[in-house]
Chains A and B, each alone.
Chain A
């Protein structure tokens, strides 16, 4: 972030302090060390966003490889049949594409917004537990790398650096046993994910997902406490911006749904490592139990992906329609209802497993019921636009694209909720079309809209509007529709998902080629978008400098100066209503945001930075990677048997993580005080007058 001058000035004044365990607190570093030890919610948000975009691009490349493989059908008679990737690699590609996009792209990108925007929106100076927030970030990074480092080992295997006999499988399944990258799809159903049918890729997947679960739960607990407990004066619950409300609902969903997959993964891990029988038919285990446990998590998970998007849209539409959000309380309420109902519909992913008439009917009805609050939201957004003075900025185009595309995805969702129809659609490209409409057309468009909207606040630069309106938006929205709309037809005609090829004689090649073209258009859109972002941040003079309130926005995060000082608000704002910044700008004189009175001259308490969350993350990464590798029958690299090494490595990793937590507990919270001398205007500070003192 370009907070250089003021931030440096503050940093120079922070006293050098020793923590209770005798180390210097890393408060005074610049550059890399500052970012590695940061506890500032804004920097953590930026880091989440950067990692998420990296994995978004990675997952996108995997998707392009999938689409390239499906460019031509398979003619068994022809000797030179099209094979861009092998069937095995294809399995790994769609597995990692799904896992990456869900857990490493959309969720952390949402987390980036939660981190950056939510504390600003409630008028707080940071989250409730800054170091826990850093812990969540680094644990997420550890999980993400555990998942993706498997690709490197897969490459080592193909390059001949690694012994091919990594696992003892059934002979004709040897190839799948060499899945070092996960290949059991993002749902990981046993018996495909069992020891007999998949290689150590599944262990990477298990460990990665476990870590991501820890990270998500820790972050969500933090957000829940922050939103309930850290609001500035006057910020009642029913004055919270909708994005913050959706953060709260999403956090509850994460906290209550992730335990189910944690247990499922533990059971699967026990099946694979210790020979238990949870999902192993030989011992009487029921693979269908995995499906239940997975979808008890998995269905709330899809709302975890979309609710932040719904929140962002509810911020963007009113701003660019210059109207208050239509029906604020009902939008909040329907968000909460969607979240609650999300726990009661998991079995609609399993209609074809013969649940029995009553269960099927119940889950079918509950699924249809979810359309009601979702529809309410859609109508409220339309109501917001109605008679508004709409400005079609790039953010607004994406937001409107979201409403339309998300609705399309919702409509095919209602089709799935009818169990008989679902029997035809299940496991087909119709399902792919549906959830890409709600995930790309829904979550991703909303997040991109959010990026266009908040980028000026985060980096102090405007993204290129002309490029956004004329190139990025048409390419992304058009490309997505071109890719996924034909899939409805493909699916209803019977093309199966998770299959690396199709027969030429099925006459579906043309539609597949259109899908592939669409995918590449979409990719070009993302490419321009990402390049514009990178250049705006990195290259001086590429982008215009942003004013502090470029959109004439409504919520209080826009009342801060840009770049936002490390303490967010020099004085905490006293909030007078919904859309507090808007009524402060244009409302009655008594609706102006006031500065909350300070008690005494203690200054602003700032948290100290810490190395230990990073140490925990590193420990987790080591543990996850080594534990996954230790499940290989023979982990031999470059001729050395490393079985003992990785076993020790996983123990050391766990030890480091525990050590990190202990040191974190022992070092004490620390902190220092910043003294800022106010000028008259709210939020403005004169840096020359600022000073920092130690808290002790």
Chain B
């Protein structure tokens, strides 16, 4: 192969890099385990709801970012991949938030919702009332 010599030249560095990654990964895994535990604890804390919400969202974002950055190698790779992934996040998160805000509790009267497997009869009535 054309770049065989080139590859062997980098081999030692490459190996050292991978070995360094090992320690990073171990530390990160331990850290995440602790964060997961903290999330569980946070739910039980007698604080204001808003504070608990903030803590949970914050911890989750940290875990999310941790996996993306180190386990998924974004920090070792070119920035373009981060941009590519962020394009999905940047569209998805605001869309989800907007959707959540577009629905209101007051849109529905929960008490009127019937339960159980739907029969066809109510559907027919609805239809007839709107010819």
- Which of B22-30, B66-74, B113-121 lies at the interface with chain A? B113-121
Does B50 count as interface, using CB distance less than 8 angstroms? no
The count of residues in chain B whose C-beta lies closer than 8 Å to any C-beta of chain A is 28
A194 cross-chain contacts in B, Cβ below 8 A = 123
In the bound complex, residues from chain B placing their C-beta under 8 Å from that of A256 are: 87-88, 91-92
Q: Does A461 contact B (CB under 8 A)?
A: no
- Asked whether any CB of chain B lies closer than 8 Å to the CB of A323, the reply is no
- Residues of chain A lying within 8 A (CB to CB) of residue B91: 256, 343
Q: A431 contacts the other chain (Cβ, under 8 Å)?
A: no
| B34-42, B56-64, B102-110 - interface stretch | B102-110
Q: Is the CB of A600 within 8 A of B103?
A: no
The answer to whether B118 and A282 have CB atoms under 8 Å apart is yes
On whether the beta carbons of B118 and A275 are closer than 8 Å, the reply is yes
8 Å CB contact of B123 from A191, A277, A286: A191
Docked complex: A558-587 residues within 8 A CB-CB of B: none
**Which A residues lie within 8 Å of B87 (CB)?**
252, 256
Tally chain A residues at the interface, Cβ within 8 Å.
33
Q: How far is the CA of A599 from the CA of B117 in the complex (A)?
A: 69
Question: A283 to B102, Cβ gap below 8 A?
Answer: no
Q: Are A600 and B2 in contact (CB under 8 A)?
A: yes
B108 touches A284 (CB 8 A): yes
Pair B124/A170 contact, Cβ less than 8 Å? yes
Q: How many A-B residue pairs have CB under 8 A?
A: 61
State how many angstroms separate the Cβ of A680 from the closest Cβ of chain B: 26
- By a CB distance below 8 angstroms, the chain B residues around A292 are 99, 102
Residues in A418-461 with C-beta less than 8 Å from chain B: none
Interface membership of B122, Cβ < 8 A: yes
Give the residues in chain A near B122, CB-CB below 8 Å.
282
Q: Does B80 make an interface contact (CB < 8 A)?
A: yes
Are B102 and A347 interface neighbours, CB within 8 A? yes
Given contacts A256-B91, A359-B102, contact A282 B108 (CB under 8 A): no
User: CB of A467 within 8 A of chain B?
Assistant: no
A501 to B92, CA, bound (A): 41
The interface residues of chain B lying within 8 Å CB-to-CB of A355 are: 102
- Of chain A, the residue at the smallest CB distance from B104 is A356
**B108 surroundings in chain A (CB, below 8 A):** 284, 286
B45 CB to closest chain A CB, in angstroms?
33
Are A284 and B102 touching (Cβ within 8 A)?
no
- The residue of chain A having its C-beta at the shortest distance from the C-beta of B125 within the complex is A170
Assess whether A296 is interfacial by the CB under 8 Å rule: yes
B95 within 8 A of A: yes
Contact B80 A284 (CB under 8 A): no
Q: Mark A275-313, 1 if CB is under 8 A from B, else 0.
A: 101001111101001001000100000000000000000
Question: Is B9 part of the binding interface, using a Cβ–Cβ cutoff of 8 Å?
Answer: no
Contact A282 B95 (CB under 8 A): no
A344–B92 CA distance with the chains assembled, in angstroms: 11
Q: A173-B127, A359-B102 are in contact. Are A196 and B95 (CB under 8 A)?
A: no
**B123-A283 in contact (CB<8A):** no
A420 to B88, CA, bound (A): 33
Of the residues A197, A228, A284, A359, contact of B113 by C-beta under 8 Å: A284
Out of A170, A228, A296, A356, name the residue touching B127 (CB < 8 Å): A170
Smallest CB separation, B72 vs chain A (Å): 17
Shortest distance between the CB of A341 and any CB in chain B (Å):
11
* B36 vs chain A, min Cβ distance (A): 27
Known: A170-B124, A173-B127, A196-B123. A286 touches B118 (CB 8 A): no
Docked-complex contact A599 and B103, CB < 8 angstroms: no
CA distance A307 to B128 in the complex (A): 44
Q: Which residue of B lies closest to A225 (CB)?
A: B84
Complex contacts, B99 vs chain A, CB 8 Å: 292, 296
Q: CB-CB < 8 A to A173: which residues of B?
A: 124, 127
12 examples of A-B residue contacts, CB within 8 angstroms: A168-B120, A194-B123, A196-B120, A228-B80, A275-B118, A282-B118, A283-B118, A284-B110, A286-B103, A343-B95, A347-B102, A359-B101
Binding site for A on B (CB under 8 A): 2, 80, 87-88, 91-92, 94-95, 99, 101-104, 107-108, 110, 113-115, 117-120, 122-124, 126-127
> Shortest 5 CB-CB distances between A and B: which pairs?
A282-B118, A284-B113, A196-B123, A170-B124, A256-B91
